[in-house]
Structure formats: C-alpha cells, structure tokens
C-alpha cells in the first residue's frame, strides 16, 4: 500500500549554498534537486548505520524502490496558510489560448513555479481561464486589474520567499601564502523571531511516496534526515550553512486530491530528476507531440575529496511524458575511486496531469 508524506525543511537563520554545474561560487540555487538530496541523505544514513546497512539500502533501491522522493521546492507561510510552489509543466494547460497569447506569453513563460492551488486548477481540474488571460495581460501591461485570482494565490511572489547575497572570502595558497579574494553566493529563507524561538516563514519541502510498509526503514530514514539537518546540506557547511530542522507531515487535504488525481488521458509531470538507460523505455516516453522535456548535465564532487563524479545527463523537473517514468540509480563512480560505489538517483517522482496536445 502506497503512503505519502510531506517533509518540510526549516532552515531558520541558517543560509544555504546550493551550487550546480556551471553557476560558479558566486551564485547559489534556492533549492535542492532530488539526486542531490538522495546523495546527501544516503551519506548521512551511512554515517549513522554503517557500511553494511547502506549497502543493503542501496540494493533495495536497485531492486524494488521502497521510497520515491521529489526534488525540494519552495514553501511560504502567508496569513496562516502555506503556499507550496511546484514547477510549471512544460506543456500548456487545457484551455490555454495558444492562438492569441501574444499579449501575455512572456509573462506566462516567466512563471517557472506555480502555487499548488493554481497548478492543480490549470493541470488537473478546470484548466486555464479567460480571467487568467486577462490578469496576465494586466500584469504584462503593469496595470491594476479587477481580476486577482493569480495574484491572491501568490503566483507572482515566488522570489519573495528568499533573498540572495554574496559574501567576500579570502583563499590562501598553501605554498606561497598568497591571498585571493572571491565571493560566495548564499540564499536566506525568510524567518522571524518568536520569543526565544526562530520561526521559518519560508523554506523547502519535498514529497515522499512510500511503496512498502517497512516501519524500521522509515524510522531509520527519518533519523538519517534529522542527522543531515544537524550536519547541513549543500556547500559552505563549515561556515554554518545548510542546517535545518525537519517536519514530517501527513498530506494536507489539497495534496491528497492532487496525488490521487487520475484521468484516462492523463500525462505525467516530473517532480524529480529522472534517468534511464533502456532505449526502448525512453523511446516510449519521448513520443512526438506527447512529451515535452528538458535535459541537464549533472556532476559534482565526491564528499570531502577533490574527485569529480562521472557526468550524467538527466531529465529535469517539469518534463512531461505520456506514461509514468520509473528510473534507476546510476553508477557514477570515478575510475580512480576504489573504496566503494557512488550512485546518483535517477528514480523518478511524477504526478498525473491533463495537458493540451
């Protein structure tokens, strides 16, 4: 029996540095993708429970995938309600006016993330409306219109959930002792002081789809994630970055309806990174006119070393396929690394949606 969990990562006053291939130290992404989350989580699991336990865990993921996880996405606390953002699928929603969208298309394309309320309406229930068109036109023309459903849902406020900054740092050459000034980018989620406590007003969340009722495994994964929160995720952890507290939640009512949605013509929208090397499977997924996807090269360094993992190209969140993808773990062990295998998760997490073909 499949069960679902929503997990919130509350960073409080702790900034984060999430680097990705090609963006450099001066920039930081505001969220963590599923493959990076998986790697950090498994590393924490190995430190807590040892080599044999983590090898058994990885074997389970290779054989029957006990748990699927989404990438992390932004949440905001606004007026006693939580706004969850999801990536806009790379297909138009039903009822989208493709033939006369020039008045607002640029604004629409700029909406990389949608509030769950709008995401569900556009891609699972009524679809795109004439009021949505008018509000996007008013937004494009910088007018205060009478239609405000998108605005009230937080559609245009994604970037208000966090702020970015660059911190100057000094690197010292070990041989010559020469110094070099550089800058590191950090993201700070919003928070406020509530008495002696720090309350997170925004942060990250992700979804878990638990495929097997194994209480011991789930408890161990919970402990490992809490341990990861103490250690920190991302870069610049020695500077105190990336530390978080974990909230394990049952699915709110709106999420229950989103995850249970089904339709005879439904497609699947990726909410995680995805990889597979079976050409027959991939050919069925990328059928012309039925799929729309983006691919990103993923790399990175091994923890506490100067050795790079093997590069791999993966489908990104928001990609849309006519069938449900499944994915696999990828062996990305560098040839010069002999201690143990290194894996990146290409196991998919997707939700059913309706799209305009």
Residues 76 and 167 reside in one and the same domain? yes
Residues 57 and 188 reside in one and the same domain? yes
Residues contacting 80, CB < 8 A, separation 6+: none
Residues 235 and 325 reside in one and the same domain? no
The closest alpha carbon to 47, from 206, 230, 236, 211, belongs to 230
DSSP 344: E
Number of structural domains (the chain) is: 2
Residues 64 and 82 reside in one and the same domain? yes
Residues 293 and 207 reside in one and the same domain? no
| Residue 35 to residue 299: CA distance in whole angstroms | 10
How, if at all, do strands 329-331 and 295-298 pair? unpaired
For residue 132, tell me if it sits in a domain: no
Which of residues 257, 281, 296 is at a domain's end? 257
Range of the domain at 277: 262-353
Dihedral over alpha carbons 61, 63, 69, 70 (to 10 degrees): 120
180 bridge partner residues: 171
For residue 126, tell me if it sits in a domain: no
For residue 26, tell me if it sits in a domain: yes
Which of residues 194, 228, 257 is at a domain's end? 257
Q: Give the pLDDT of the chain (357 residues) as one tens digit per residue.
A: 789 999 999 999 999 999 876 566 667 899 999 999 999 999 999 999 999 999 999 999 998 899 999 999 999 999 889 999 999 999 999 999 987 788 899 999 999 999 999 999 999 999 999 999 999 999 999 998 888 999 999 999 999 999 998 877 777 777 777 777 767 889 999 999 888 888 899 999 999 999 888 889 999 999 999 999 999 999 888 888 999 999 999 999 999 999 999 888 889 999 999 999 999 999 989 876 789 999 999 877 666 567 777 889 999 999 999 999 999 999 888 777 767 788 899 999 999 999 987
| Residue 180 to residue 165: CA distance in whole angstroms | 20
Residues 304 and 217 reside in one and the same domain? no
Residues 228 and 312 reside in one and the same domain? no
Which of residues 239, 257, 275 is at a domain's end? 257
DSSP 356: -
Residues 320 and 266 reside in one and the same domain? yes
For residue 85, tell me if it sits in a domain: yes
pLDDT of residue 197: 84
3-state secondary structure of 10: strand
Residues 170 and 244 reside in one and the same domain? yes
* Strand ranges for the chain from DSSP E: 3-10, 67-69, 73-78, 81-87, 113-115, 162-172, 179-189, 191-194, 197-200, 202-210, 245-249, 267-270, 295-298, 312-315, 320-321, 329-331, 343-345, 350-353
For residue 128, tell me if it sits in a domain: no
For residue 121, tell me if it sits in a domain: no
pLDDT of residue 23: 63
Residues contacting 59, CB < 8 A, separation 6+: none
Residue 208 maps to which CATH number? 3.30.70
């Amino acid at each position: 029996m499949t069960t679902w969990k929503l997990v919130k990562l509350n960073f409080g006053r702790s900034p984060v540095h999430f680097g990705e291939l090609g963006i450099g130290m001066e920039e930081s992404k505001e969220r963590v993708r599923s493959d990076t989350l998986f790697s950090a989580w498994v590393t924490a699991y190995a430190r807590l429970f040892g080599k044999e336990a983590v090898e058994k865990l990885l074997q389970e993921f290779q054989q029957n995938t006990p748990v699927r996880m989404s990438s992390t996405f932004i949440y905001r606390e606004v007026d006693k309600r939580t706004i969850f953002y999801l990536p806009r699928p790379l297909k138009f929603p039903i009822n989208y006016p493709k033939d006369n969208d020039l008045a607002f298309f640029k604004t629409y394309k700029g909406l990389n993330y949608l509030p769950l309320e709008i995401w569900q309406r556009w891609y699972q229930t009524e679809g795109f409306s004439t009021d949505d068109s008018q509000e996007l036109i008013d937004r494009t023309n910088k007018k205060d219109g009478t239609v405000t459903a998108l605005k009230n849902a937080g559609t245009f406020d994604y970037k208000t959930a966090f702020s970015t900054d660059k911190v100057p740092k000094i690197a010292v050459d070990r041989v010559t002792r020469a110094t070099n000034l550089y800058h590191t980018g950090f993201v700070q989620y919003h928070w406020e002081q509530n008495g002696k406590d720090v309350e997170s007003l925004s942060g990250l969340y992700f979804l878990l789809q638990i495929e097997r009722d194994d209480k011991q495994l789930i408890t161990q994964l919970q402990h490992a994630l809490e341990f990861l929160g103490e250690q920190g995720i991302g870069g610049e952890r020695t500077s105190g970055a990336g530390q978080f507290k974990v909230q394990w939640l049952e699915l709110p009512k709106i999420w229950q309806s989103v995850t249970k949605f089904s339709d005879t013509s439904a497609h699947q929208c990726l909410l995680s990174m995805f990889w597979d090397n079976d050409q027959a499977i991939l050919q069925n997924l990328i059928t012309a006119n039925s799929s729309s996807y983006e691919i990103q090269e993923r790399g990175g360094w091994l923890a506490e070393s100067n050795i790079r993992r093997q590069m791999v190209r993966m489908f990104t969140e928001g990609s849309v396929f006519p069938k449900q993808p499944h994915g696999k773990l990828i062996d990305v062990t560098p040839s010069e690394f002999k201690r143990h295998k290194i894996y990146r998760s290409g196991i998919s997490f997707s939700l059913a949606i309706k799209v305009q073909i």
